[in-house]
Structure 1
């Protein structure tokens, strides 16, 4: 008869500190932020992400140079954020599936959901990382525009104060953009396992209702109707919201049309962000690990 031998492989129990749920949440948040900027990913991901970021920064730099040379205001900071909305959508279409669809496709969720990280923590950490990444991408050129306006102003302290007010409005609108567009994009990505399909779906959701909004505005109907229709297209509704909040005390367009339902637009976006966040949490509570 053969005799069995017990080998002592030196396994020991872990006696170090238990960092817990909070540490796991922060780690996943930082990992999401790094992934959004292409850090730790392949060269193709870096090229795509940093190309779009570079274009957004280049647009801000171009506006800064032109304004400093001509002493004319080409675009306010909120207007700049609205002008690069399509680039923001393209960036989200590349990043959101990477944060959500990949883990479902590779069946890595079971590793995340092993204690102490909870499913709600996973959803909120991913969303927080995506929101922060888009905000930083938009805030960088807004900061550059503020620096250029403050340094090139000929009105002294008054000019710097005006530039600071525009800078604050730009940061606020960047945060609003990041909250709204990121929450919608990540929710869409969480519903689709294949990254390419998820990216296409994100772009389609934001662009499919654009013709309807443009058609309504082309009919020259009253302002309130256009604002209601714009709620089907978040980028356009964000433009209306920025006009109401940052275009002066009367909230006028350059053409003189008054924003009729500014407070309703603000409530609409609060509801959109809250609903998308809640649905994202529900989605990850039910998604198979």
Structure 2
């Protein structure tokens, strides 16, 4: 016996298949639905000015950088763009990525940096690390000298610092380790900190470790919010991906009517990339339901008013 949700699944699948076929989508490709980008093609080109600033600081080893912004602002995408570029320039840079910080200690921070650097064949790092924190730091100092001799800088990237910011003891240990490695280098930093978190993390860094905060050459940088042009590019990129086509500038945003862009943005309180993408998904879903009801393809402000539930 088919239950109510089974019926909803069947109906939704049929509605979306019909609408997707009408729009020329590749089978099983639903635009805007994925939280993680299914392809680089759907990434909107934004934050050019900040990208230039960060590139300058890293190339010149001018100091440390923190990107502090709310969830959904595009920190992960920005970070990955920088990481991919640095990884391709191994003759000048090394990258040590610390992705999880919830159970971090000062010693574990040192160990994670060293573990990340093991993949580089031109660095000598002991297989077994000492148990004492000070002795592990001595190994980091030795690696710092090796990097300096090679003329190479190591970017220490720390993600989601807010995950531990509320635990004062843990956060102080993390910050102590970061400040310690940030101080290494004779004339300029060997380790450049590249920190990511929400405002809660940024405030705690200043509160608990003002010395580290003062050494940031670019502190609490925020990412751009999406306006009309960004939203149109986002829609074009996702639609081209859904059709299996290459994205080019000015890719048509049909079935979205031009007036719908402003209506979408008006429904989003803080126009972060995630929030805008999610609203575009709701608009597409509304378009599919409208097509099932009336055979109307175009997504207009009226489509949103009729078929999108207010958050």
TM-score under structure 2 length normalisation: 0.24
Higher relative contact order (CA closer than 8 Å, sequence separation 6+): 2
| Higher helix residue share | 1
| Higher strand residue share | 2
